[in-house]
Amino acid sequence: MNYIDINSTEYPYLLKQIKDPPGKLYYRGNLDMEIFNETLSVVGTRRMTRYGEIITDSLVSAIAGAGVTIVSGFMYGIDALAHNAALKAKGRTIAVMPCGIEKIHPEYQADLHERILSNNGLIVSEHPGDTPPALWTYPRRNRIIAGLSSILLVVEAGVKSGALITAKIAKNYSKKIFAVPGPLTSSVSMGTALLIKQGASILTDADDLLFEFGKLSTVELYTNIKQQALNRLQKKIIDVLSQEPLGIDEITRLTERPTSDVGADLTILTLKKLLTLKDGKYYLIKGAPNVI
């Protein structure tokens, strides 16, 4: 059984700096210390919405594709999607387990477990063998997720979620926290709204994080904001709104796409400061960059 002792030079530096690091970090996979150099921890609800799915896939794919290792907790929902998005971008990811290192939990994600390992990722845990998960192992696992990175990203979270527990731990560790804003009508956006209210940075684009990791200069960041790449539906939304302001029902009818997809992309376009919502209708913002 492979493990890194806390006194070993191979022990992750950031994890060693927290108040209560695990004495031994068990792992599966080929240990390459570079995997710990630039890391982003991603957490969120297990009951993700379509909006959360689109946002997570888009953000994590871009960040992992730029060489940042994605750390998450392997559970279904945002965790699993973050791992999958990193793999899709041919990036690396670390899964922190709430159980023994030899156990796959949840079992039905055995394929994801194998793909993480076969793509030079790591599975880590502070528990040996096939120790089963318990109520107390999840918050303990969360401190490792927070400890392995300098930045924590919270995508969607309820006000009493494990993601907010992780955010509280990260704050106590003086980590930088980013939160993705979402519709206040959604229960899984209330947690991220609370984090923003408490001082978390608002994340509106992957470039915000790439800038934090030094992968974009100030000039590049500004240029990328001006030349944003939009998907096909987003371009179609821009096209129909160039004729006149419309409500979501009219936009859904004209684009011939599901309301959930249209709603998610309307939120993204609003965050990109290309649209504004007023009196139930979406308007193109005057002076917005040419993105078509």
Domain ranges of the chain: 3-220, 227-284
pLDDT at residue 292 tops 70 = no
Q: Which pLDDT score, from 0 to 100, does residue 228 have?
A: 57
The C-alpha atoms of residue 231 and residue 246 are separated, in whole angstroms, by 20
Is CATH 3.30.70.1140 correct for 3-220?
no
pLDDT at residue 154 tops 70 = yes
Q: By the 8 A CB rule, do 275 and 285 touch?
A: yes
The C-alpha atoms of residue 240 and residue 262 are separated, in whole angstroms, by 12
Instruction: Name residue 177's amino acid.
Output: I
CATH number of 227-284: 1.10.10.10
Q: Is 119 exposed, middle or buried (0-12, 13-18, 19+ CB in 10 A)?
A: middle
SS3 content of the chain, % helix, strand, coil (to 5): 45, 15, 40
Angle at 165 between CA 47 and CA 174, to 5 degrees: 130
Per residue in 206-248, pLDDT (tens digit) is 888 988 888 765 545 445 544 456 788 988 898 888 888 999 9
pLDDT at residue 287 tops 50 = no
Q: Which of 185, 194, 188 is nearest to 167 (CA)?
A: 194
Residues whose CB is less than 8 angstroms from the CB of residue 266 and which lie 6 or more positions away in sequence, other chains included: 237, 248, 251, 275, 277, 282
Q: What percent of the chain has pLDDT over 70?
A: 93
Residues whose CB is less than 8 angstroms from the CB of residue 169 and which lie 6 or more positions away in sequence, other chains included: 139, 142, 143, 146
The distance from CA 190 to its chain's CA centroid, rounded to whole angstroms, is 17
